[in-house]
Each structure stands twice: as C-alpha cells, then as structure tokens.
Amino acid sequence: MPGVSRAVSEAKPADGAMDTAGTGTRSLRGSAGTLLWMLALAAVAAGLQAYTTAPFDADTSYHVAVGRLIREHGILKSFPWTPFSWLADHYADKELLFHLLLVPVAGLAWTTAAKLVGFLVGTALLWTLFAVLRAERVPWAGVWTLLPLAASGYFVQRFALVRPHVLAVALALLVTWASARRRLGLLAVACLLYPWCYTAWHTPLVLVVLVELAFLISGRRPDPRPLAVAAVAVGIGVVAHPNFPNLVEFFWIVNFKILFATAWADMPGFAQGTEFLPFDRWQLAYYGVATFAVAVAAVVLAGASRRRSPIPLAFALAASAFGLLTIGSQRFIEYLGPFSAAALAMALRDRWRPRVVAVGVFSACLAYTLILGTYCVELMHKRTDDFPDEVATAHAHDRPSPVPGLHLRLDLHGQGDARASRSAVHGGAGSRALLRPGSPALPDLVRAGADAAASPGGSGARGLRGAVRPLREGPAILPLRGRDVARPGRDPGAADPSMGSLSHRPAVGPSPNCAHQVASGVGAWAETPRNRTLQLLRPATLSEGG
C-alpha cells in the first residue's frame, strides 16, 4: 500500500500540470479567436471604405479641410473663411479630436485621407462593441458585433460616413459599460474625451443616469459616484478644450437653437438635410424594422432578467432612448443599432443555446437587409468625387476667391447640391442661428455665370435652368428645376440625387446636409406654390468676374 500511496502522490502534480496545460490551451485558443475576430472586424471597416468610391457625405470634405488647416496653422482659434458666420471670430472646433486624426494624412488626396480615417474610426467602433461583449462573456461576440450592420442598410451607410459621430457612438458604448461596471477610471477617460469628439457632450451624463435607473429598476441601490465622475470629467474636458468658452456657446447653438428650434421645429424655409427627418413608412420598412425589432426584444428580455443582472437593462434603456430619437430623426439609428445589439446579446447570454440564437438572429436580419434594404448601400458605390482634380485646379487657378480658400460649387447636373470645394471649408451648421449679429444681407446677386468655378467650361452654369434674380435685400434665389427637383409622378423607386441616402420616393428637399454646404452661413429650401428654391447667403464678392 505504501507503494500505491507514493504512486498516487506522484500522480497528483502531473494531473495538476495537465489541468494547467488544459486551461492554458483554452486561454490560447480564446486569445487567438479574439485576435481573428478583431482582424475580421477591421477588415469589414476597411472593406466598406474600399467599396465606397468617394466619401458619401459632403461634410467629409469640410473635415479634411479643417485637418489641413490645423496642420498648416495649428489649433484654430478663429475661422475667417466664414465671414458672415458667428464662427468667424468665435470659433469652436466641436470635433477637434476627429480633426486631429486627419492631420497626419491631410497631405494625401482628400478621398484617400478620408477613407483612412474612416477605416480607423469604424474599426474603433466595432472593436469597442466587441470588447464590451467579450467583457460580458457573451458567446459569439463577433457575430453580435456585426448585427447592427446586418440589420439595416441605412446603418451601414451611417457607419461608413467619415464623420465624428462614429467616434461618439464608440465612446457612448464605453461610457455605458464603464458606468454599469463601476470602472470609474475608464468612465472618466471616456467622458473627458467626449467634448473633444462631438458636440453632444451631454450624452455621457444622460447615459449614466439611465444606468443608475436600470440599477434602481433591478432592485439595486444606485451609486452616485459614476454620475459625479462623469460630470467632473465632462466639465474638465470642456474647460481644457482649446476653444473654451466658445465651445459652450456653440454647444447651445447646435443642440438647441439649430436642432430643436430649427430642424425639429420645422421652421419654414430651413432644412438641415434628410438625416434630421423621421423615417417615412417605406423607409422604416426598408431600413428600420429589424433594428427596432432587436431593440424591442432586448427591452423585453433584459427587463425579464433584471434581477439577475442590471447590465443588459442599462443598455436596453439606452437603446430605448435612442429609439425615441430615431423616431424623430433617422440619423440616430447609428446609436440604436449598437445599443440594441449589445442589450439583446447580454440578455440572451445565459439562455437556451446562445450560439444558435446569435447565428439565427444575425441570419434573419441579414436576409431582411439583402431582400429590402440594399438601396442606400448601393448608393455608396455610385458616389462620384465631388471635387475631382480638374475642379480643384479650376478653383485654384481660374477663379480665385476674394475670401481665401473659399469657393462655391453648383453641380446641379450631378448631385443637385451646393458644396464647398475640397480646398474650402464651410460654416458647419445651416441655420440662421449661426449668422453673426448685424450681418448684411446680400447686396448683390450671385449670378449663374459665377458658378463656372464649379466645373471647367462653365458646365455648372449650364446646369441651372432659370435665372438668378438680383436682390438688393435678402438672399439670392436660385430656382432649381429639371432633374435636380423631383416632379409629381416621378418613379418613386428611381434613384434621386437630391435625396441621397434613402430615396425610394420623390424628393421633399435637397440632398443630405445641403444646408451645411453653404460656406458663409445658410442654405435652405423655401417651398412655394410653384417651385422649390434653394436660398444661398453668400458674400457678393464671390459673384465678381462671372
């Protein structure tokens, strides 16, 4: 027997070593799987940028231009390129961190620079969602991470835009998870960065409140520390911003005067672009049903399992809030998609065969999008460069602007839009709220011939059917007719350049962010009984030499 005892005792270390080796092997496999998923998610972000022939959103040229200006002049403290705008001498860069990402690549072709940064911010969003799901031990976290892209073609388009909201969504996910898990250091960093990334820097505070509400509903005592940390960190981020205190006033202008008092108030004569409009019933059918279904399922399941964990409910409440915003403005689907996917994944984590459910939900959403919702994804591949090399050359040499670096492009043949050139920057918000107090009305007309800078040989001018009427008081009125304005009876399924992203019906306004593109302050639709007109407030000097 002593021999048996010795044999058993000698075998124990070997068994322990085998257990350790097994654990190490599983850990290694898990790490390899995580790395493969991270590479796959990065490939998805890169693939979407490669699929997009040119940056889909006209705002992208502005962001690249600001990156170039920062590279040449350092952090901007004024914005003389918009002389009639409040920003001219009260400048605040509400997306400074995003623009700093563009600085190292600003010397490249503007489309190349945009796609590189689009790849970076898209990858950051996918990796953040993936990391949150992995931290919550969600099986097949990579599949759930891709669910927002599978559920809505419009989300795909919003995700692929080279704009700072992509960074904001990533930070919002991080804020919610860090607050729910009481990771106060990580929460502080995310909240500190928010005012440097996006204009809606009140979002972290709202998300933290929703997290504590989830804890309260789940029968747990709310913790005041996350809200205190978030408030202090956001405050420090605002005060430390190079454009403080202008940033605070600009926050009020953008989030309240422009969004609530102009865009959502349906102010006559002003349009912020289709992204601020709600989905109509057809758009909702094509692009929103699956995403909203995921959100509803997440709320129900997270509520049912709230006693087990309040974390899914926290994400579900955030998804509910963004769902309400999406009902008012279609653009908020960019938040609704990731938060709904995260909430549903966490709520299903401990239920019946979660891997099977993950693949099933993903497959159903992907089938829905492939059948109904590919139109706006296809538009990404059909987009042409707003500012090709020959146009930039014409702008730079043939028609120099009296306002340095600022030109107006009218290309009604192609996009039915008014844009700033690649070498130009625009005011950043299409609302009279940004007009400098006491700004003069246009003293002279912007003649149709003056837009020859839009394309060599004046083809842009020939695209205007109708004269620009001289006005001594008020803005110049450019009647838009022909293919740039939808006529009654037009095929509702036809691609409509004046609607841009979601057109399955006649257009009701200009292409997305048309108002954004007017460099000196305001561009807007004015509905009249006979036609639609685009109002452009521009310095009269831009019409000289036409």
Q: DSSP for 453-472?
A: GGSGGGHHHHT--SPPBP-S
- Under 8 Å between Cβ of 119 and 46: yes
Distance CA 81, CA 197 (A): 22
Structural domain includes residue 189: yes
Distance CA 442, CA 427 (A): 17
pLDDT at 265: 78
pLDDT at 213: 98
Q: Are residues 477 and 342 in the same domain?
A: no
Q: Are residues 214 and 295 in the same domain?
A: yes
Of 331, 349, 380, the one marking the end of a domain is 380
β partners of residue 536: 476, 523
What SS3 state is found at 487?
coil
Q: Are residues 353 and 422 in the same domain?
A: no
- Under 8 Å between Cβ of 95 and 164: yes
Structural domain includes residue 65: no
Structural domain includes residue 85: no
Structural domain includes residue 59: no
Of 357, 380, 403, the one marking the end of a domain is 380
- Reported as a single tens digit per residue, the pLDDT across 282-331 is 999 999 999 999 999 999 999 999 999 999 999 999 999 999 999 999 99
Supply 352's token pair: 């019946």
Mean pLDDT per 10-residue interval, the chain, length 546 residues: 45 46 59 93 97 88 92 92 82 96 93 96 98 96 97 97 96 98 98 96 97 97 97 98 96 86 75 83 96 98 94 98 95 97 95 89 98 93 73 49 32 29 31 42 32 35 31 30 30 35 31 31 30 31 27
Distance CA 102, CA 116 (A): 9
| Structural domain harbouring 151 | 92-261+276-380
Distance CA 14, CA 486 (A): 78
- Reported as a single tens digit per residue, the pLDDT across 470-498 is 323 333 333 322 223 222 333 333 333 33
Mean pLDDT for the chain overall: 74
- Under 8 Å between Cβ of 376 and 153: yes
Distance CA 62, CA 419 (A): 10
Q: Are residues 411 and 373 in the same domain?
A: no
Count of structural domains within the chain: 2
Structural domain includes residue 19: no
Q: Are residues 347 and 394 in the same domain?
A: no
What is the Cα 13 distance to its own chain's centre?
Answer: 56
pLDDT at 23: 55
What SS3 state is found at 447?
coil
pLDDT at 273: 75
Q: Are residues 402 and 465 in the same domain?
A: yes
- Reported as a single tens digit per residue, the pLDDT across 419-431 is 333 233 333 333 3
Q: Are residues 348 and 447 in the same domain?
A: no
Residue of 409, 438, 433, 364 lying closest to 536 (CA atoms) = 409
Structural domain includes residue 69: no
Supply 163's token pair: 């704009």
Q: Are residues 373 and 441 in the same domain?
A: no
- Reported as a single tens digit per residue, the pLDDT across 455-474 is 333 333 333 223 233 323 33
Q: Are residues 248 and 205 in the same domain?
A: yes
Q: Are residues 456 and 517 in the same domain?
A: yes
pLDDT at 17: 46
Structural domain includes residue 422: yes
Alpha helices in 103-182 (DSSP H): 110-135, 141-151, 153-160, 165-180
Q: Are residues 325 and 435 in the same domain?
A: no
Structural domain includes residue 168: yes
CA-based Rg of the chain, rounded to a whole angstrom? 26
Q: Are residues 349 and 401 in the same domain?
A: no
Burial of 298 from C-beta contacts in 10 A (0-12 / 13-18 / 19+)? buried
Of 327, 349, 380, the one marking the end of a domain is 380
Distance CA 471, CA 537 (A): 12
